[in-house]
Amino acid sequence: MPDAAGTLSATVAPGTAARGARLAAAVGARLSAPTEDGAFWVPASTFTRRDGSRGVFPHTVTDRAKPGLIAVGGDGRRFVNEAVSYHAFVRAQLASGGRAVPAWLIGDRGFLWRYGLGKVKPFTRRLGPDLASGYLRQGATLAALATAIGVPATVLADTVETFNRDARRGEDPAFGRGGDIYQRHLGDADHRPNPCVAPIVQAPFYAVAVWPADLGMSAGIETDAEARVLGADGAPIPGLFACGNDMASVMEGAYPGPGITLGPALTFGWIAGRNAAASPGGQTEPAAAVTLSGPSGSGS
Q: Which residues contact 203 (CB under 8 A, 6 or more apart)?
A: 108, 109, 139, 140, 141
Q: What is the pLDDT of residue 252?
A: 80
Instruction: Among 175, 198, 213, identify where a domain stops.
Output: 213
CA 7 from centroid of its chain's CA atoms: 13
Domain around 268: 17-37+218-293
The answer to whether 202 and 110 have CB atoms below 8 angstroms apart is yes
Instruction: Round to whole Å and give the CA distance between 9 and 213.
Output: 5
Instruction: Round to whole Å and give the CA distance between 157 and 125.
Output: 27
Specify whether 187 is located in the same domain as 227. no
Q: What is the pLDDT of residue 298?
A: 43
In terms of Cα–Cα distance, which of 263, 284, 289 is closest to 274?
A: 289
The answer to whether 187 and 178 have CB atoms below 8 angstroms apart is yes
The answer to whether 289 and 239 have CB atoms below 8 angstroms apart is yes
Q: What averages of pLDDT result for each successive group of 10 residues across the chain (300 residues)?
A: 81 72 88 82 95 94 97 98 96 93 98 98 97 98 98 98 98 97 97 98 98 88 94 93 89 80 92 89 47 51
How many domains, in total, are found in the chain?
2
pTM, full prediction: 0.87
Specify whether 265 is located in the same domain as 116. no
Structural domain includes residue 1: no
CA dihedral 69, 74, 80, 84 (to 10 degrees): -60
